[in-house]
Amino acid sequence: MAQAIACNIAGCGVTISSAGLSAWDGSPASPHAVRWAQARGLSLENHRARTLTQDMVNENDLILTMTKAHKEYLLKAFRGAADKTYTISEYGGEKNDISDPYNLDYAAYEQCAGELTRLLRAASVKWK
């Protein structure tokens, strides 16, 4: 959802990709995420999960995580990430983690998407 939201906010001027620390490569987006996106005219039908690699860290200018724990793990596991890794909240000017809706109900996905949208809009002023 974060990638779809960020791409919708950023438009064509920024390249945005998604990867996870424990993602199962090739897995589709969750049914709740797909439903949420479809209701807003966004598509996750072709989304496939990717596990974050050192090459991805090297190739990207900015890495945003949903939680402080994700950020801390990433900083320990990957060289060269320290100066470009932030939580979405801190990059958007706040401090709280974004709740992961994985394995929760549709309402949790809506709540997460609302947090992502608000924070990514705030963060997007730094992208342009």
pLDDT in tens, 22-36: 888 999 999 999 999
pLDDT tens per residue across span 101-114: 988 999 999 999 99
Burial class from Cβ neighbours inside 10 Å (0-12, 13-18, 19+) for residue 64 reads: buried
- The mean pLDDT value for 90-100 works out to 91
Q: How confident is the model at residue 88 (pLDDT cuts 50, 70, 90)?
A: very high
For residues 92 and 101, the answer to whether their CB atoms sit within 8 Å is no
Residue 98 CB contacts under 8 Å (≥ 6 apart), including other chains: 66, 67, 87, 88, 89, 112, 115, 116, 119
Identify the CA nearest to 64 among candidates 20, 107, 25.
20
Give, as one character, the DSSP assignment of residue 28.
B
pTM of the model: 0.87
Q: How many residues does the chain have?
A: 128
Domains, the chain, in order of start with CATH, read 2-19+27-124 (3.40.50.2300)
CA distance 110 to 83: 31
**Cα separation, 78 vs 97, whole angstroms:** 21
